[in-house]
Structures are given as structure tokens and as C-alpha cells.
Structure 1
Amino acid sequence: MDVVPEAAVESTEAVDDVHLKLLAGGEHANVQHFRIDPGAVVPEHSHPNEQLGYVVSGTLEFHVDGETRTVEPGDSYVLAGDEPHGAENTGDEPAVGIEVFAPPRENPDWRN
């Protein structure tokens, strides 16, 4: 069994005020921690990985297929692989949560 403490992984600022940590990964999926500060925007993008998430605190607005969906603490979500999506934090506190990618995102663009 591998254990990856969140505190042991350095955060990467993928875009302004969007902080990501790639955590444990296996053969079929991996885990990512996110913190998206108030006012931050994740530009529309897509990737072949299915993306499942859970919001621990704060609120995010996802933009998918011309619709805006709000996710709040305790909400989970799923985005299909290759589905264009973006998000923004329009709230007053950081949005914090975890995401699972399948297959694993071994070297996402934001790490470069």
C-alpha cells in the first residue's frame, strides 16, 4: 500500500489562484487535491480522463455545454472524458476538494 500525505506534496499554481496537488496514483486512477481561490477562473479545457470530484468547502460554478452548474460542500460531480469544461469560484472563500481521474493523469499540462 502506498500512502501520499497531502502535506508532503508541493502545490502547483496551474493558472492564477488555482492550486493543484497530484496525490496518490494507481494503475487505473489517481487523486488530485484542489484549492481555487475566490475570483479564480479555470479556463475551458478537456482531457481524455473521466473526472470525478467532491467539494469539501467553498463553492464552484462549472461551465459545461453552455450551462452553469453550481457545486457546494458535500456535492460530488462527474465529467466525461473529452468533455469541454471550465470553472470559477464566484464565492468569498477558497473552494477546496478532491478529484479522481481515470485513467490516471500522469503528466497533466499544468505541471510544466
Structure 2
Amino acid sequence: MEEVPQAASETVEVVDGVYLTQLAAGEAMSVQHFHIDPGAAVPEHSHPHEQVGFVVKGTLTFRVGGETFVVGAGDSYVIPGGETHSAENRRDDPVTGIDVFSPPRTDPDWLD
């Protein structure tokens, strides 16, 4: 087992009001934490990794493949690898959650 202490993980503000923290990564998947302030948005993008997530707190509005999806606290979601997507916090409270990527997303461009 490999333990990754919270102190070993750096939180990065990737765009205004969107904070991502790269957490543990194994051979087949990786996990990150996200925090999105009210009114903040993750711009449209894609990556080859399948993305599975869970919203811990708040409500997030996704645009995936031309469709809109609203995901709230306690809900989970799957975004296929290569699918163009974006996310926006349209509410008055922050959104927090966890994303898991497969294959591992150990070197995302937002770390640059």
C-alpha cells in the first residue's frame, strides 16, 4: 500500500475559482479533489481518460456531448474518455467532490 498524505498534495487554482488537487495515483487510475466557487466554470476540454466523479457538496452543471446535466450532492457521474465537456457552478454555494481517472491522469496540463 502507498499512502499519500494530504500535506503532500498541492492544490492549484486552474482557472478563476476552480481548485484541483491531484491525490493518489496507481497503475490503473488516479484520483483528484475539486472545489469550484460560485459562478466559476471549468472551460470546455477533453482528455483520453474516462472520468468518474462524485459530488460531495453543492450542485454542478455539466455540458457533455451537447447535453446539459445537473449533478448534486450525493450524485455521481461518468464522462467517457475523449468526450468534450465543461462544468459550471451556477449556484450560490461552493461545489466540492472527487474525480477518478482511468488510465491515471498523473500529468494533467493544469499542473504546468
**TM-score bracket for this pair, using the shorter chain length:** over 0.9
Instruction: Name 1:41's counterpart in structure 2.
Output: 41
Query: After the TM superposition, which residues 84-99 of structure 1 pair with which residues of structure 2 at under 5 Å, given as runs?
Result: 84-99=84-99
Deviations 1:20-47 (A, max 9, x none): 0000000000000000110001110000
- Partner of 2:65 in structure 1? 65
- For structure 2, the 5+ residue unaligned runs are none
Percent identity over the alignment is 61
Hey, what does 2:14 align to over in structure 1? 14
Q: What CA distance in whole angstroms lies between the structure 2 residues aligned with 1:6 and 1:44? A: 28
Measured against aligned partners, the alpha-carbon deviations of 1:32-70 in whole angstroms (never above 9, x if no partner) come to 000011000111000000000000001100001221100
Q: Which moved more, 1:58-67 or 1:77-86?
A: 58-67
CA root-mean-square deviation: 0.9
Output the TM-score relative to the length of structure 2.
0.96
| TM-score, length-scaled by structure 1 | 0.96
CA–CA distance in 1 between the matches of 2:43 and 2:102?
A: 21
Structure 1 Cα separation of the partners of residues 3 and 19 of structure 2: 21
